[in-house]
Structures are given as structure tokens and as C-alpha cells.
Amino acid sequence: MTIHYKTPDELVIMREAGRIVAVAHQAMRDAIRPGVTTGELNKLADTVLRDHGATPAFLGYPKHNSPDYPASICASVNEELVHGIPGKRALKEGDIISIDIGSVYQGFVGDSAWTYAVGEVQPAVQRLLEVSEQALWVGIQASVMPHETRDVAMAIQQHVEKHGYSVVREYTGHGVGRKMHEEPQVPNWWPRGRRQRQNWVSYTLRPGMTYALEPMVNAGRPEVRELSDKWTVATRDRSLCTHFEHTIAITAGEPLILTVP
């Protein structure tokens, strides 16, 4: 178990890595409209990252028994949750799209995802977006000393379930630094049963810890499955789902949000 605590100098670089991701997200927000393809969004984000001296963290990312990740962003539409591969698919009015962007800048990673509405969406969909974005903010607010990762997880889960949605179990937030995935894991839920919790570790938050919080919320059942492209993950019941993620740094006071402009 090795948590890499960042020095103030390293945090300055991570802040820039995060800022670049945020600028790419601004470009996504501006470009998302009916008719645009996920491949076009990928190209745009890739250009923004490189124009700012960063490289895309996801491109070529390895995964056991799958091809290396073939694009610079993940673009997951409607019932697709994460790791959707951009391509020829054109967005339609009323869709939602989760865009996940990772940068590497001077050796450090920034990682942030957001779910966007395409044009006007139904009120129930707008509600799903609002509650799941709030779940991220609840997790950020809970990311203060002397809390542990369990407190963050429980706060997120409670918020989501209180509103009648479900938290995806299979994926967690994660430490971020020179590598995209470092310790600690930061789950979005916490098992209630003693037996279920057996191998779960809760980490005490300390200044210099940097992690990505990324609640994944399903409108329906929590179960997900991987599609035949070996990357895209979608809800089993084909319900809509969301993904909101920021990379943050723990301090003696409020956490710093690294992936903002």
C-alpha cells in the first residue's frame, strides 16, 4: 500500500494538468449539440490538450484481455456509463453524454468526467443530472480531515439512494498523480454487512493526498455490463446513467478542486 502524498510544487503541476482538462471540458460543453459526432468531440478535446502542452492520458491505456484504449476521451451516450469509444455516432436532441477526459502534463495526471445534456432533455433526466452532480459535490465536501475514505463513500451513496437512484458498485474513485490510478481507492458506496466489508480498507485523509472522486449513478438498477467492443460499460437494464468526476487535493482545510479552469 503506497499513497503518494504530493508536495506543494507537485500540486502546482497537478493543478495545471487539471486546469487543462477543465479547458477541454469547456470546449465539449460548447461543441455538444444535436448532430455532432462523438468522434468530432474526441478530435476537439485531443487538440485542446495538446495545444496546452499536455497529452491525453487515456490514449493507448492498457486493459487485460482488451485492446489498448483507442481514443483520447471516453464518450458514453445514454445507457452507456463509462469507457464509450468515440466514433461516428451523432448526438440527438434529448440524449445525455458522459465525457471523461484525462491529461498528462509535466508527468502528472488530471482526470475529470461530466455528463452533459444534448439540447433539451426531459425533466426526469434533468433531475438525474442534478442529483448525480450533487453527489459529486457531497463527496468533495466530505473530503476533509479527519474523515476517512469510508465517510466520503457513505456520503455519496446516501445522497444518491435518498433520491431513488443507484450507485454503480464495480468502479471507484482513485488516487491520481504520476499515474492515473494510484492508491487509495475511493468507493462510492460502503457495504453494510460485516462479511461483505471483510477486505475493504478505509484510508484516513491527509494533506497532499490527491484523488479523483467519480460517482457513477444509474436511474434504475445498479448492475452494469461490458459491451462487445471490450471497453464500453452500460447499464444492464438500459436505464440512463451519469458520471461526474473531479480530481481534488486534500488540505488542512477545504479540499482543492484541481480540475477547474
Q: Which chain residues interact with Co ion by CB under 5 A?
A: 111, 212
Please report whether residue 83 would count as binding ligand MF3 according to CB under 6 A. Answer: yes
100 binds ligand MF3 (CB under 6 A): yes
Selection from Co ion, ligand MF3, none that 182 binds (CB < 5 to 8 A by kind) is none
Closer residue to ligand MF3 (CB): 33 or 63: 63
Rounded distance, CA 258 to CA 261, Å?
Answer: 9
* Min CB(34)–Co ion separation in Å: 28
From Co ion, ligand MF3, none, interface partner of 83 (C-beta below 5 to 8 A by class): ligand MF3
Which residue lies nearer to ligand MF3 by CB, 22 or 212? Answer: 212
Site string for ligand MF3, 33-62 (x = CB under 6 A): -------------------------x--x-
Q: How far is the CB of 76 from ligand MF3 (least distance, A)?
A: 10
Size of the site for ligand MF3 (CB under 6 A): 12
- Per partner kind, with CB cut-offs from 5 to 8 A, the member of Co ion, ligand MF3, none near residue 203 is none
Q: Which is nearer to ligand MF3, 121 or 241 (CB)?
A: 241
**Residue from 22, 74, 153, 156 that binds ligand MF3 (CB under 6 A)?**
74
Q: Which of residues 191-250 bind ligand MF3 (CB under 6 A)?
A: 212, 245
